[in-house]
Amino acid sequence: MRSLRASKIAALLLAALPVTFAGEVSAHRRDEYLQAARIGIEADRIHLELALTPGIAVAGTVIRDIDHDRDGTLSQTERQAYARRVLGFVRIHVDGSEPLHLAVASSRFPDLEAMRGGDGTIAIQSDVLIPPLTAGTHRLLFRNRNAASNLVFLANALAPATDRIAITGQRRDRDQRELTIEFVVR
């Protein structure tokens, strides 16, 4: 009797789950600003891709941060300034070097309605030429120093485009503001 009753309760709970959580399903939480970094390593360059997706609850704040003249549109100048500001928080070191100089190679901004709806992602890319890496073991340190509230971070190495480079390890801090990539150049 008891197991039949427990089974019925479990079935009712499972049946209710899609209804209960249907409005909450999302790629990220509504009240956070997701900043995802992907880092590609080549023998003579580092490629950085940032995907920035504001949740619905923070989208207005992000838009106001970009729209300096408060005219309700994001001009090319405002977009470029924001992309440079975002990159200014990022530090990349290779083998303990001074931080690499990150410049905006490209950026793409969604329309404002997509951002307000939590579906708009800002994409920023940077390519940095580095002295050719010698054969052997190397280490890249990525750090996002943005301290604004409501930020959530992800960081990952991209699969190398060549067999000359092999990613041998990735270590992240707890909130993924920092990623250490260990790799070998053949």
Query: Which pLDDT tens digit goes with each residue over 101-111?
Result: 999 999 999 99
Mean confidence (pLDDT) of the chain? 87
Spatial CA neighbour of 177 closest among 142, 132, 137: 142
Q: Which of 28-32, 63-67, 153-157, 177-181 has the lowest mean pLDDT?
A: 28-32
- What pLDDT was estimated at residue 30? 82
Average pLDDT score over residue span 81-90: 97
Q: Which of 10-24, 31-45, 80-94, 153-167 has the lowest mean pLDDT?
A: 10-24
pLDDT over 70 (residue 167): yes
Of the pLDDT bands very low, low, confident and very high (cuts 50, 70, 90), residue 70 is very high
Average pLDDT score over residue span 38-58: 96
- What pLDDT was estimated at residue 148? 82
Average pLDDT score over residue span 153-161: 96
State CA 12 to chain mean position distance.
38
Read off the pLDDT of residues 17-46 as tens digits, 9 standing for 90 and up: 333 333 344 445 688 999 999 999 998 999
Of the pLDDT bands very low, low, confident and very high (cuts 50, 70, 90), residue 147 is confident
- Between residues 3 and 32, which one has the greater pLDDT? 32
